[in-house]
Chains A and B, each alone.
Chain A
Amino acid sequence: MSDPMKGAASGATNGSPHGAPRHAHESAAGAVRDLALRALIVGVIGIAIAYATAFFSEPVARLGPWIMAVLMPITMFAMMVLGAVRAGRGIGPLAIPFVVVFVLVAGGFVFALWLPPEAVDTPLWLGLPPRAAVILFGVGLLPLFMLPIVYALTFDAFTLNDEDIARVRAARLPGANPKGGTH
């Protein structure tokens, strides 16, 4: 499913930050947005299939967690890309941290499914059995501050700056009263 408005005359004042031809950036951003949207839809369908496997017996039922482990992070990161992509700019340097954190999360889930179950003499990684350590430290702790720091560092260039706010304010409809409300 592609965005029916993809390619429409949008963001007419949103120029390229690097002076490259505008339509090339628009096209790249549209492609990223389209890809994210497709990934989101595929992810949601995949999660539905994962849930459906619960109604079956082995070995089909065993597939559910594996499907979920990969497609659920795809869904969440597709959502994040959809939010981060900018008309005329794509996601720029955000691509790398997004991929890294996706690998940490999805890889952590897959690794936890793949490793053998715990036993009394299981070696400990940072005080926890390996599978638990992968989930708690790899999926939970490592990405914890990575994305917030990336968000802050790229905020002015890729999320919001004074020009963006001015452009939005200029788009107010006649008679609009953002701070309205009856007393």
Chain B
Amino acid sequence: MGTLALLLQAAPMPSLSQPIIGGVALAYFVVVAIIGTWAARRTRSATDFFVAGQGIGLFTLAIASMAATLSGFAFIGGPGLVYTVGLGAVFIVLPAALTNSMGAWVMAKRLRLLAEVREMMTIPDAIAARYDSRAAQGLSAVAIIIAVVGYMATNILALGLVIDAIFAPGLALSIWIGTAIVLGYSVSGGILAGIYNDVFQGTLMALASGAVFWYALEAGGGFSGMSRTILATDASLLSPWGKLTPLAALSFYFVFGLGSLGQPHVIHKFFMLRDARRLKWFPLLMTAALFVSLLLFIGVGLAMKSLVLSGATPALDMPDDATPAFLLRFTPVPLAALVFASVAAAIMSTVNSFMSIGAAALTHDLPVAFGTRLSNELKWGRIWTVVIALVSAVVAQASGTLVAFLGIFGWGLFASTLVPALAVGLNWRGATRAGAIASIATGLTITLSLETLAYLKRFSFPAGVTASAIALVSSLLVFFVVSWFTRTTAAATLAPDVRAVMEV
């Protein structure tokens, strides 16, 4: 399954059954429920349900985008990956130095301005507007639905693992409990509930991560202490590429950097901003929030490796134990409890975003692609939210490599299907409808086929390069080549209002 298999939280966590941890987790779920109830009363239309009534502010947008970007992987799988492969894992988060500003210049303004001239509820809506093409809208919706179910299944499984570790009701029941909690506020309050829960969850994540980083530096003797201990035993862990090949590490940077422009659960939040001029401070706020939230990722992984190598703590049974073991041994219990609640928060905020875009694709994009429009999108949005959640929960019950496989291609599928058509297309008037459709189809086909071959152990790319990277490069090349061959049609597919958006 390649290196991306390491990015998933699909293994059990150590038991966290302590009264304080359970109490904090319970309090966290109560706050989530209260916010959900509050938001449900304000959800009166499909626009409220899918794009928060296009009425959110800058702070809300930035924190919610950060919360949706980070899943539980940032707190559990990420530190485990640093523990295992060393600094090479950092290439997953390193592009954050560019992605928020790049996203603001390339995507934010154009998407938000599209919402000034057209009804924009979904990312496929933007693709349809750009190319005047229902086929492109339908195809991108299909890609989103496939990726969403896989992504959600892995995240719901991860949520089940966290709940099981804290309350110990068994994994199967924990998966249903987790699903019910997210479903509870998502189906009633839609993205409006999700957004305001994201703000709460994102704030929690940033606070917890910052505090844990400080403890990690203290326990490991600062960067110098950790470096000296690790260098004495296994210097390759502190190579910039860690135990990855340089090509694989750089490939992470490419996929998680350029690929960030095609993550619909994040970029569709640009539609929701009340005032486009507030985008001015978006990159700075989002970057600050993301930076603090990612400190734990690097700090805990390095600290645990150095603490294990120095004999200060026993070796881990498995890499994903890095964060739980560090928290239980080296931080006060209330802080550990806060972090475990943050893990649940990170997962839930991502799941809610996926539910929203998946339900929107089924409620809105597919019918529109077939030339119709459902009469009550709010009602159908809620129904599809339930259906997607239930399907994902059933898939998550098949815990194991199949679920891991389904989750692997989520990011890559979004990137390879949406980056060329949307990110390049909204900034290049020479892009054509045929180019967009061909690139979406290429991304879909290559991602699914290469990931399946890797899952079946029939083929994996040499040097640890991921299928996602190959799919992204291929879809970009196809996009340029087909657009060039069909360049005489470019002007015809560009409506005057969309052209005005692209000229700003």
Interfacial residues, chain A to chain B (CB-CB below 8 A): 1-6, 8, 10-11, 14, 33, 37, 40-41, 44-45, 47-48, 50-51, 53-55, 61, 64-65, 68-69, 72, 75-76, 79-80, 82-84, 86-87, 101, 105, 109, 112-113, 117-120, 122, 124, 126-129, 131-132, 134-136, 139-145, 147-152, 155-156, 159-162, 164-165, 167-173, 176-183
Contacts of A178 in B (CB 8 A): 115-120
Number of chain B interface residues as a range: 35 or more
User: Given known contacts A68-B254, A139-B94, A144-B287, what 12 new A-B pairs fall within 8 Å (CB)?
Assistant: A33-B428, A83-B106, A101-B98, A109-B250, A112-B240, A117-B236, A145-B288, A170-B500, A172-B116, A181-B45, A183-B45, A183-B378
Q: Is the CB of A135 within 8 A of B87?
A: yes
Q: Is the CB of B429 within 8 A of A160?
A: no
Please name 19 pairs of A and B residues whose Cβ atoms are closer than 8 Å in the assembled complex, sorted by A: A4-B491, A54-B465, A68-B246, A72-B254, A75-B254, A76-B254, A79-B427, A83-B106, A122-B231, A131-B240, A140-B90, A148-B283, A149-B284, A152-B284, A155-B279, A167-B500, A168-B504, A178-B115, A179-B119
**Closest chain A residue, CB of each to CB of B378:** A183
Partner of B257, one of A5, A6, A65, A76: A76
Which chain B residues (466-504) contact chain A, with CB distance < 8 Å?
469-470, 473-474, 476-477, 480, 484, 487-488, 490-491, 494-497, 499-501, 503-504
Q: Is the CB of A135 within 8 A of B102?
A: no
Contacts of B487 in A (CB 8 A): 4
Contacts of B376 in A (CB 8 A): 182-183
Contacts of A142 in B (CB 8 A): 97
Q: A41-B480, A180-B47 are in contact. Are A151 and B428 (CB under 8 A)?
A: no
B100 CB, nearest partner CB in chain A, Å:
6
Q: Is the CB of A45 within 8 A of B46?
A: no
B442-479 vs A, Cβ < 8 Å mask (1 yes, 0 no) = 00000000000000000001110100011001101100
Q: A79-B424, A145-B287, A182-B375 are in contact. Are A160 and B469 (CB under 8 A)?
A: no
B71 CB, nearest partner CB in chain A, Å:
20
Q: Is the CB of A5 within 8 A of B491?
A: yes
Contacts of A131 in B (CB 8 A): 239-240
Interfacial residues, chain B to chain A (CB-CB below 8 A): 44-47, 50, 54, 87, 90, 93-94, 96-98, 100-102, 104-107, 109-110, 113, 115-121, 222-224, 226-228, 231-232, 235-236, 238-241, 245-247, 250-251, 253-254, 257-258, 261, 276-277, 279-281, 283-284, 286-288, 291, 298, 373-378, 423-424, 427-430, 461-463, 465, 469-470, 473-474, 476-477, 480, 484, 487-488, 490-491, 494-497, 499-501, 503-504
Contacts of B284 in A (CB 8 A): 145, 148-149, 151-152
Instruction: Identify the 4 closest CB pairs spanning chains A and B, nearest first.
Output: A127-B223, A83-B106, A171-B500, A147-B101
Please report whether the interface of chain A is mostly helix, strand, loop or mixed according to DSSP: helix
Partner of B280, one of A33, A79, A152, A169: A152
Q: Is the CB of B223 within 8 A of A82?
A: no
Bound: A8/B491 CA distance, A? 10
Interface centre among B253, B286, B474 (most CB of A within 10 A): B253
Contacts of B480 in A (CB 8 A): 1, 41, 44
Bound: A48/B478 CA distance, A? 12
Q: Is the CB of A83 within 8 A of B47?
A: no
Q: A1-B484, A182-B375 are in contact. Are A171 and B101 (CB under 8 A)?
A: no
Q: Is the CB of B117 within 8 A of A182?
A: no
A104 CB, nearest partner CB in chain B, Å:
9
B73 CB, nearest partner CB in chain A, Å:
18
**Closest chain A residue, CB of each to CB of B279:** A160
Bound: A121/B117 CA distance, A? 62
A177 CB, nearest partner CB in chain B, Å:
6
Bound: A9/B121 CA distance, A? 31
Q: Is the CB of A179 within 8 A of B238?
A: no
Contacts of B93 in A (CB 8 A): 140
Interface centre among B101, B257, B501 (most CB of A within 10 A): B101
A136 CB, nearest partner CB in chain B, Å:
7
A130 CB, nearest partner CB in chain B, Å:
9
Q: Is the CB of B105 within 8 A of A84?
A: yes
A90 CB, nearest partner CB in chain B, Å:
13
Bound: A66/B301 CA distance, A? 28
B106 CB, nearest partner CB in chain A, Å:
3
**Closest chain A residue, CB of each to CB of B491:** A5
Q: Is the CB of B119 within 8 A of A5?
A: no
Contacts of A45 in B (CB 8 A): 477
Q: A152-B284, A182-B375 are in contact. Are A113 and B246 (CB under 8 A)?
A: yes
Contacts of B119 in A (CB 8 A): 176-181
Bound: A147/B99 CA distance, A? 10
B395 CB, nearest partner CB in chain A, Å:
30
Q: Is the CB of B500 within 8 A of A181?
A: no
Contacts of B287 in A (CB 8 A): 144-145, 148
Contacts of B247 in A (CB 8 A): 50-51, 53-54, 64-65, 68
Contacts of A86 in B (CB 8 A): 504
Contacts of A65 in B (CB 8 A): 245-247, 250
Bound: A82/B420 CA distance, A? 13
B230 CB, nearest partner CB in chain A, Å:
9
